[in-house]
């Protein structure tokens, strides 16, 4: 169980006072690890936070998105969700008597599906659903949508999905209009919408484009970033020493710059052309296809000491292959139509 707590530091004495409150006080009955919050937790309020590797589950504003019928259909439908919950194979109703039947089934709610033992399933059907199970059902639905989105994008079921990746999946699934305004603006690095104040003449009103419309427009443009053309009879192929021609595609490098950093998953700042490994020699530069997105800190770290960087994060060729596999799997690079 993890939690964010507000603390007060008494100057000169070196005493830290934590205010857990009655709800979080049981956390301090055993050993406790205290650390500074990670960057993805900086906007979270104090209190319990999700005990999973998916930070998007803490985005309360996305709850309606995960529970929308169109999103559920895009992720695979209710039947697929029920089958996913069935694999939990444990009763999700917490109670004082601790008795559970050895066999399990699923029960649908308005927020999602929960896994219950036969005894508690009969109890809930006869007496109504406890409020705590609606919260559990909503969590099941959100986890399932995220996992389904990761699998469909070729990222793997255990991938830690970021908000930009969720928005990209929403674009591919035609549910972009369901993404709430606030997270959509964060993805596009647009300023938060400020409420209008004072009196404004009608002639001066300029309606701002919805962030969802901008995301959808960007997605339609990105679908065809690179269309590869295959020329099996290239004149260069017949030459004994063909002239080296570097592939240039600024559209692709600009797009790669918008992806998360391959090292830390934070927003990237640069499309790094790989160096070494037979690429980026004296007076040359790797093809624009051979780029990986890096934040400024990791880009500087790589150029300071490539060997140390690769020992820490993996070789550049390995990072490139992973990135290209992701790029091809989501349709950014495809075969040109004849």
Report the SS3 class of residue 5: coil
Write out the two tokens for 213.
């419309």
Percent of the chain with pLDDT over 70: 73
Specify the range with the lowest mean pLDDT, choosing from 77-91, 163-177, 184-198, 247-261. Answer: 184-198
Question: Any bridge partners for residue 241, and if so which?
Answer: none
What's the farthest any 2 CA atoms get from each other in the chain? 82
317-332 tens-digit pLDDT: 889 888 888 888 777 7
pTM score, whole prediction: 0.52
**Predicted confidence band of residue 211 (pLDDT cuts 50, 70, 90):** low
Average per-residue pLDDT for the chain:
79
140-153 tens-digit pLDDT: 999 999 999 999 88
pLDDT at 186: 73
| pLDDT (mean) for 170-181 | 85
Element (H, E) at 17: strand 15-18
Domains in the chain with CATH codes: 2-49 (no CATH), 60-152 (no CATH), 163-192+209-222 (no CATH), 226-232+247-335 (3.30.40)
Which of 187, 143, 147 lies closest to 168 in space, CA to CA? 187
Phi and psi, residue 292, nearest 5°: -130, 140
- Which of residues 294 and 213 earns the better pLDDT score? 294
pLDDT at 82: 93
Which of 104, 111, 105, 117 lies closest to 132 in space, CA to CA? 111
Report the alpha-carbon distance of residue 252 to residue 62 in Å, rounded.
30
pLDDT at 143: 93
28-47 tens-digit pLDDT: 777 777 777 766 566 666 76
- Strand-strand pairing, 15-18 and 113-117: unpaired
| pLDDT (mean) for 213-221 | 57
């Amino acid at each position: 169980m993890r939690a964010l707590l507000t603390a007060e530091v008494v100057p000169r004495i070196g005493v830290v006072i934590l205010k857990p409150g009655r709800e979080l006080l049981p956390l301090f009955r055993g050993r406790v690890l205290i650390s500074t919050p990670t960057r993805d937790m900086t906007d979270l309020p104090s209190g319990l936070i999700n005990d999973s590797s998916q930070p998007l589950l803490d985005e309360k504003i996305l709850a309606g998105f995960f529970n929308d019928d169109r999103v559920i259909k895009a992720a695979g439908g209710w039947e697929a969700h029920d089958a996913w919950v069935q694999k939990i194979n444990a009763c999700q109703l917490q109670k004082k008597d601790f008795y559970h039947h050895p066999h399990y089934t699923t029960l649908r709610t308005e927020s999602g599906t929960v896994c219950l033992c036969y005894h508690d399933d009969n109890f809930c059907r006869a007496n109504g659903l406890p409020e705590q199970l609606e919260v559990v059902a909503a969590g099941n639905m959100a986890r399932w949508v995220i996992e389904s989105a990761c699998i469909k994008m070729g990222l793997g079921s255990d991938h830690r999905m970021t908000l930009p990746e969720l928005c990209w999946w929403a674009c591919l699934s035609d549910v972009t209009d369901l993404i709430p305004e606030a997270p959509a603006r964060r993805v596009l690095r647009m300023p938060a919408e400020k409420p209008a104040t004072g009196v404004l003449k009608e002639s001066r009103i300029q309606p701002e484009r919805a962030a969802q419309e901008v995301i959808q427009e960007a997605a339609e443009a990105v679908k065809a970033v690179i269309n590869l053309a295959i020329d099996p009879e290239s004149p260069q192929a017949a030459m004994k020493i063909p002239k080296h021609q570097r592939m240039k595609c600024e559209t692709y490098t600009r797009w790669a710059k918008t992806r998360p950093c391959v090292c830390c998953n934070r927003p990237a700042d640069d499309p790094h052309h790989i160096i070494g490994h037979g690429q980026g020699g004296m007076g040359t530069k790797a093809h624009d296809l051979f780029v990986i997105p890096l934040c400024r800190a990791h880009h500087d770290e790589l150029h300071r000491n490539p060997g140390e960087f690769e020992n820490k994060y993996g070789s550049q060729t390995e990072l490139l292959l992973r990135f290209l596999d992701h790029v091809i799997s989501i349709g950014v690079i495809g075969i040109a139509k004849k």
